[in-house]
Amino acid sequence: MKLLGLAVLILFAAFVALTLWRAQARDGRALRDTPPTGEFVTVNGLRVHVQVAGSGPDLVLIHGASGNLRDFTFGLMDRLTPHYRVLAFDRPGLGYSDPLPGGEASLAAQVAVLKAAADQLGATNPLLVGQSYGGSVALAWALDHPAAARVMVSAPSLPWPGGLDITYKLTETALGRAVFVPLASAWLPDRYIARSIDAVFAPQPAPAGYLAYLGLDLTLRQGALSANVQQINSLRPQIVAMEPRLPSLTLPIELVHGDADTIVPLTIHSLPLSQRLPNAHLTVLPGVGHMPHHTNPDAVLDAIDRAAARAGLR
């Protein structure tokens, strides 16, 4: 029995070592295959990765969960730069932006860092464009800081019923993240990630080459996974806290949402929000899922131009 127990311990130690080695190897592949495409701005000792291009009114792009600024530079950003000076950020802890100290994951803390970086780059009163979780960040930004206008694409904006799926339940605590984040980083198969991407885009297909461009290894690094699950796990109570303040928003607001979005349902978020705020204009895309900035980019570009015109920027 002692020999059996020793063998089990040796096998377990070997598995842990292999898991950590595979997870660390992913970090190296991410830097090699999907290196930073922009510049770095330092805010209170934290590096913030941002890609800046174009000329015109300042426009800030804020990506969603499990992503990075490449989600916008895959196609949308090039269509914006002839008309706007575009700043596409990696949110703290994701892409190549440093995580917030102490595991901080709040919208307010993310906004503080991103706004300070935007200020350093001269974008003190930008048009904010946020997709999915990034729309919630844009909402928090507009509530506390100057912004010319706001465009929310498939974004959580009001409290939703129920909880998150088991993936997030397992990573609510520091112990859960210590166990499951390295396992996910090391062992999640590529085909599982591809199916997850398909589910996010459904019922439309993901564009060819999207996952390779976004960077599988960049998304599955341990630091990015840990920051992402902490941000998502803490989102709903922050949305609840922001809800009473929504009537204070007087800036132009454009909402773009597909009625087939099962990730962030239209009827729970953008539709009732548009009915509460007289300054909000809603564009509903029939049969469209969660990623209209890829599947229906013209509708998103039109919403951005409307927001800019309403704000007197164009």
Q: Do 36 and 90 form a contact (C-beta atoms < 8 A)?
A: no
Across the beta sheet with 149-153, the strand order is 39-43, 46-54, 85-89, 58-62, 127-131, 149-153, 253-258, 280-285
Structure confidence at residue 124 (pLDDT): 96
Residue 110's CB is within 10 A of a number of other CB atoms, namely 27
Domain enclosing residue 276, as ranges? 32-310
pLDDT digits (tens, 9 = 90+) for 272-287: 999 999 999 999 999 9
What is the arithmetic mean of pLDDT over 16-23?
88
The distance in angstroms from the start CA to the end CA of the chain is 78
> Residue 132 domain-assigned?
yes
Q: Are strands 149-153 and 85-89 parallel, antiparallel or unpaired?
A: unpaired
> Residue 4 domain-assigned?
no
> Residue 2 domain-assigned?
no
Structure confidence at residue 87 (pLDDT): 98
pLDDT at 1 > cutoff 70? no
Structure confidence at residue 161 (pLDDT): 92
> Residue 12 domain-assigned?
no
> Residue 245 domain-assigned?
yes
> Residue 180 domain-assigned?
yes
What is the arithmetic mean of pLDDT over 254-281?
97
Q: Residue 97 belongs to a domain with what CATH number? A: 3.40.50.1820
pLDDT digits (tens, 9 = 90+) for 207-245: 999 999 999 899 999 999 999 999 999 999 999 999 999
Peptide bond into 146 cis (omega under 30): no
Local confidence band at 128 (pLDDT 50, 70, 90 cut-offs): very high
Q: How far is CA 314 from CA 136, 145, 189, 249, 309, in A?
A: 25, 21, 46, 21, 5
152 DSSP 8-state letter: E
CA angle 286, 292, 297 (to 5 degrees): 110
Residue 181's CB is within 10 A of a number of other CB atoms, namely 23
Domains of the chain: total:
1
> Residue 179 domain-assigned?
yes
Which SS3 state, helix, strand or coil, does residue 49 take?
A: strand
What is the arithmetic mean of pLDDT over 136-159?
97
pLDDT digits (tens, 9 = 90+) for 69-126: 999 999 999 999 999 999 999 999 999 999 999 889 999 999 999 999 999 999 999 9
Structure confidence at residue 20 (pLDDT): 87
> Residue 9 domain-assigned?
no
Nearest to 88 by CA among 109, 66, 112, 67: 67
Task: For CA atoms 45, 46, 51, 53, give the dihedral sign.
Answer: negative
Task: For CA atoms 215, 104, 62, 132, give the dihedral sign.
Answer: positive
Listed in order, strand segments (DSSP E) in 154-248 are none
- The C-alpha atoms of residue 204 and residue 287 are separated, in whole angstroms, by 9
Q: Do 37 and 225 form a contact (C-beta atoms < 8 A)?
A: no
Give the rounded distance of the alpha carbon of 16 from its chain centre. 30
- Ranking 18-27, 118-127, 249-258, 260-269 by mean pLDDT, the lowest is 18-27
pLDDT digits (tens, 9 = 90+) for 154-196: 999 999 998 777 778 788 888 889 888 999 898 888 888 889 9
Helix-, strand-, coil-residue percentages of the chain, each rounded to 5: 50, 15, 35
pLDDT at 149 > cutoff 90? yes
Structure confidence at residue 166 (pLDDT): 79
pLDDT digits (tens, 9 = 90+) for 47-63: 999 999 999 999 999 99
Local confidence band at 31 (pLDDT 50, 70, 90 cut-offs): confident
pLDDT digits (tens, 9 = 90+) for 6-17: 777 888 888 888
